Amino acid sequence: MQSRNPRSQWFSRQFSQPLDRLAITIIVILTILTIVLLWVGDRTAPQVQAFSWQDKQVNAAETTFTMTFNRPMNQESVEANLKFEPPLVGKTSWAGRKMAYTLIVPAIYGKSYTVKLENAFDRFANETGKKTPIQPFSSKFSTPEPQLMYIGAEGEELGRLVLYDLTQKSKRVVTPADLVVTDFRIYPNRDKILFSAIKKKEPSQQSANPSPSFVNPLDQKLYTMEFNPNQANQQGNSAQLLLDSDEYQNFKFDLSADGKSIVVQRLSRVVAGRYGLWVIKAGEQAKPLDNQPGGDFMFAPDSTSVAIAQGEGIAILPLEPQTPPLDFLPRFGTVLSFSRSGIQAAMIQYNKDYTRSLYVVNNQGIQKELAKVNGSILSAQFDPQEQTLYCLMTDVDQTQGKYEETPYLAAIDLKTAKINRLLDLPGQRNLQISISPDGSSLVFDPVDLSENSTVGNEKRNTRKEDLRIDSNSGGQTNSREQRIEERSDRRTDNLGTSTTSATQVPIRQPIPQLKLLKLNNSSVPLQPESLSLSGSRPRWLP
């Protein structure tokens, strides 16, 4: 009997199992296919595998989308053939097969955008000489409708939050009739509002001469309310009490950018002098921060800290009780606003010569003076592109023994510090401005100071008498509480009434009328447009 070849015997022993033979067969087939593919080349066309904004509604906080391709692309051909309708200016960056496009100018609200890509090639098209164009790609995304909210000032809107849609030119009342709203914030997803309000006290039914409803200015409570800005009928929604005023009076509050934390300034009704910030985190009870008391404050853009005026500077406080400040800026007395990215802040320095300086401070500690004024700096907001700071400031007239401040609206170029005076606003000390999320418009709430305005308001605002300050609301207060009350009483409230003390009958004032100012870079003087809305404290929905 003839002996078998030693190599054949070794092969049979090593690959005697069926699974081994199957693996070898697959390897051989794949090797052949690879050789054929390399010889013939890939004849399939490049294509977009994923687009992160496909069929989405994108708000102003979302500034970057990504496109993922099925192979590495020729970057120049993609960038040259990427089209938007309406146009969107941006810049690209690449990481392998993924392209990121970051908007330089925000997408305009109330628009539907189309993205198209054709005639782009892969990275190896020039080397192989086979320029197979990308499969034509087209997709859509949209932006939210431009909508704003304000505190109504007449009729059934008096003291209630009102939602206004600029596209449909329609409005609807949001909050209940028994709550008089004093201030509010809108959650980032547009699905919820946070507001402070005073509950109306109905007059005694036994009184021979029943008087109008009372509101207690020191009985401000904090509420939340869910709502859908695109749903007209929301009868099932009701205000939920978040923070009462039984043991503490509630004053200013703020909502973090991520909507997960609330900070409230509170004064104890029981313990004299106990005054400071309280924090409410999502799903938790309110708790005091127990830091050094301060003045005006606002959330930092990181949503984890608060900037507050303390002593001779601005302290950056974490949201943890009895924790030392993260930073302290000794030169400044007030924080006006932060930029959307959080890398810049507008602050006021109070000078020894009684002037005020407006500074912009970045996250690297660089401080740049933008303006020095003899009057006041009332407020300031960054535009979304962070190139311009819109400010409410005042001129001062001290001639002939008088002192008079005249407000005006200005736009300051952050690079050159050039001041462009936009509007003179004489007599408008209690203005609030709000810049739209896309930076296209600014809304504000001036009152009509013409001779006929008060007469007209007297005739059409019969319900203004329905609200009166409760003369018995104050009770016994400590010195700090009295100072806060006196300061708040000297201001014109959101109901269009002005008082000098809690016991006096309010003096009827002209009603604020909302106006819209289109923002552009042209040298043509801007003219505000009346929205025919009576109200105050306007805010754009995010």
Assess whether 359 and 403 both reside in one domain: yes
Query: Could you tell me if residue 163 is inside a domain?
Result: no
Rounded Cα–Cα distance for residues 141 and 52 (Å): 10
Q: Which two three-digit tokens encode residue 328?
A: 């302290």
Domain boundary among 120, 142, 164: 142
Domain boundary among 431, 464, 491: 431
Q: pLDDT, tens digit, for every residue of 274-326? A: 899 999 999 899 999 988 878 899 999 999 999 999 888 999 999 998 889 99
The enclosing domain of 408 has a CATH number of 2.120.10.30
pLDDT at 464: 42
Assess whether 34 and 63 both reside in one domain: no
Assess whether 345 and 416 both reside in one domain: yes
Mean pLDDT of the chain: 84
Q: φ and ψ at 320, to 5 degrees?
A: -120, 135
Q: Report DSSP state, residue 199.
A: E
Q: pLDDT, tens digit, for every residue of 127-165? A: 766 778 999 999 999 999 999 999 999 999 999 999 999
pLDDT at 207: 45
Look up the pTM and report it.
0.81
Check pLDDT > 70 for residue 206. Answer: no
- In SS3 terms, 471-494 reads as CCCCCCCCHHHHHHHHHHHCCECC
Assess whether 32 and 118 both reside in one domain: no
Assess whether 348 and 408 both reside in one domain: yes
The residue type of 263 is V
Give 65's contacts (C-beta < 8 A, 6+ positions apart): 51, 52, 53, 58, 100, 101, 141
- Checking 263-266 for CB contacts under 8 A at 24+ apart, the result is 263/289, 263/297, 263/299, 263/306, 263/319, 264/222, 265/297
* Average pLDDT value for residue range 19-36: 79
The enclosing domain of 136 has a CATH number of 2.60.40.1220
Query: Could you tell me if residue 250 is inside a domain?
Result: no
CB 148 within 8 A of CB 125: no
More confidently predicted of 213 and 476:
213
Q: How many domains does the chain have?
A: 3
For residue 430, name the pLDDT band (cuts at 50, 70, 90): confident
Query: Could you tell me if residue 20 is inside a domain?
Result: yes
Angle at 223 between CA 217 and CA 227, to 5 degrees: 130
Query: Could you tell me if residue 440 is inside a domain?
Result: no
- Checking 195-199 for CB contacts under 8 A at 24+ apart, the result is 195/161, 195/222, 195/223, 195/224, 195/225, 195/239, 196/220, 196/221, 196/222, 196/223, 196/250, 196/253, 197/221, 197/223, 197/239
pLDDT at 523: 56
Assess whether 417 and 335 both reside in one domain: yes
Check pLDDT > 60 for residue 455. Answer: no
**Residue owning tokens 């329609």:** 170
What is the pairing mode between strands 112-117 and 98-103?
A: unpaired
Assess whether 20 and 99 both reside in one domain: no
Check pLDDT > 80 for residue 109. Answer: yes
Check pLDDT > 80 for residue 493. Answer: no
Q: What percent of the chain has pLDDT over 90?
A: 63
For residue 253, name the pLDDT band (cuts at 50, 70, 90): very high
For residue 450, name the pLDDT band (cuts at 50, 70, 90): low
CA 79, 80, 81, 82 torsion-angle sign: positive
Instruction: Give the residue from 464, 447, 462, 428 showing the smallest Cα distance to 530.
Output: 447
**Residue owning tokens 């507001």:** 195
Check pLDDT > 90 for residue 485. Answer: no
For residue 496, name the pLDDT band (cuts at 50, 70, 90): very low
Q: Which of 23-27, 145-149, 300-304, 488-492 shows the lowest mean pLDDT across its residues?
A: 488-492
The residue type of 401 is G
Q: What domain range includes position 22?
A: 6-40
More confidently predicted of 365 and 372:
372
Query: Could you tell me if residue 133 is inside a domain?
Result: yes
Neighbours of 121 (CB within 10 A): 20
Containing H/E element for 538? Answer: strand 529-540
Q: Which of 64-73, 264-273, 488-497 shows the lowest mean pLDDT across its residues?
A: 488-497
- In SS3 terms, 62-111 reads as CCEEEEEECCCECHHHHHHHEEEECCCCEEEEEECCEEEEEECCCCCCCC
pLDDT at 439: 94
pLDDT at 27: 86
pLDDT at 534: 96
Report in angstroms the alpha-carbon separations of 274 from 181, 279, 309, 478: 26, 15, 17, 10
Containing H/E element for 28? Answer: helix 18-40
pLDDT at 468: 43
Query: Could you tell me if residue 451 is inside a domain?
Result: no
Report in angstroms the alpha-carbon separations of 206 from 203, 209, 211, 216, 468: 9, 9, 11, 21, 19
Assess whether 88 and 121 both reside in one domain: yes
pLDDT at 210: 44
Query: Could you tell me if residue 481 is inside a domain?
Result: no
**Residue owning tokens 């687009």:** 51
Domain boundary among 369, 404, 431: 431
Q: Cis omega before residue 72 (within 30°)? A: no
For residue 429, name the pLDDT band (cuts at 50, 70, 90): confident
Assess whether 57 and 90 both reside in one domain: yes
Rounded Cα–Cα distance for residues 77 and 133 (Å): 10
More confidently predicted of 183 and 128:
183
Instruction: Report the range out of 21-25, 54-58, 453-457, 489-493 with the highest average pLDDT.
Output: 54-58
* Cross-strand bridge partners of residue 518: 441
Rounded Cα–Cα distance for residues 213 and 209 (Å): 13
Rounded Cα–Cα distance for residues 76 and 74 (Å): 6
Assess whether 335 and 426 both reside in one domain: yes
Q: pLDDT, tens digit, for every residue of 394-418? A: 999 888 778 889 999 999 999 999 9
Assess whether 337 and 426 both reside in one domain: yes
Assess whether 361 and 416 both reside in one domain: yes
Query: Could you tell me if residue 303 is inside a domain?
Result: no
